[in-house]
Amino acid sequence: TERSLVLVKPDGYARGLTGEVLRRIEAKGYRLAALKVVSADTDMLHRHYAEHEGKPFFEPLVAFMSSGPVCAAVVEGDRCIEGFRTLAGSTDPTGAAPGSIRGDLGRDWGKKVQKNIVHGSDSPESAEREIGIWFPEL
């Protein structure tokens, strides 16, 4: 089995989409192994997005991610990392496929940050690193 770190980002949380995202994860057959609502501080977010440090969208992204609560989940199931990224759809919600979370529920809202509702880990190594940031107690 495999674990992924999923976030309902501040835009998704504020729009009341947390239940819809969790519903899709469970309907797909994955298990919610841990779940909480968190207000992330910038130190956590700098660690979470370390791979993007230095890119032009890095600081706006950190500011956006600390602008309100997020829902953090540890999702569990065989190939759930790839599976959740398929559920999420492509990064830019305008081009994301209908049927996906971003394709069905997201759009471009202007400004310099892509408000794309969810985050999902992109590899087993990222998942374990990110779970350590969001769930240090596990």
Active-site residue set:
119
Q: Is residue 4 near ligand GTP by the rule CB under 6 A?
A: no
Determine whether the annotation assigns residue 102 to a binding site: yes
Q: Which of residues 94-113 bind ligand GTP (CB under 6 A)?
A: 112-113
Q: Closest CB to ligand GTP among 7 and 77?
A: 7
| Residue-wise burial string across 6-41, b where 16 or more C-beta atoms lie within 10 A, e elsewhere | bbbbbbbbeeebbeebbebbeeeebeebbeeeeebe
Sheet harboring 31-38: ordered strands across?
31-38, 70-76, 3-8, 118-120
Residue 26's identity, in one-letter code, is E
Which of 4, 18, 100, 114 is the binder for ligand GTP (CB under 6 A)?
114
Determine whether the annotation assigns residue 57 to a binding site: yes
Q: Closest CB to ligand GTP among 77 and 127?
A: 127
Alpha-carbon gap, residue 95 to 12, rounded angstroms? 18
Q: Closest CB to ligand GTP among 77 and 84?
A: 84
Q: Which of residues 59-88 bind ligand GTP (CB under 6 A)?
A: 61
Sequence-distant (≥ 6) Cβ neighbours of residue 95 within 8 angstroms: none
The residues binding ligand GTP (CB under 6 A) are 57, 61, 91, 112-114, 116, 119-120, 122
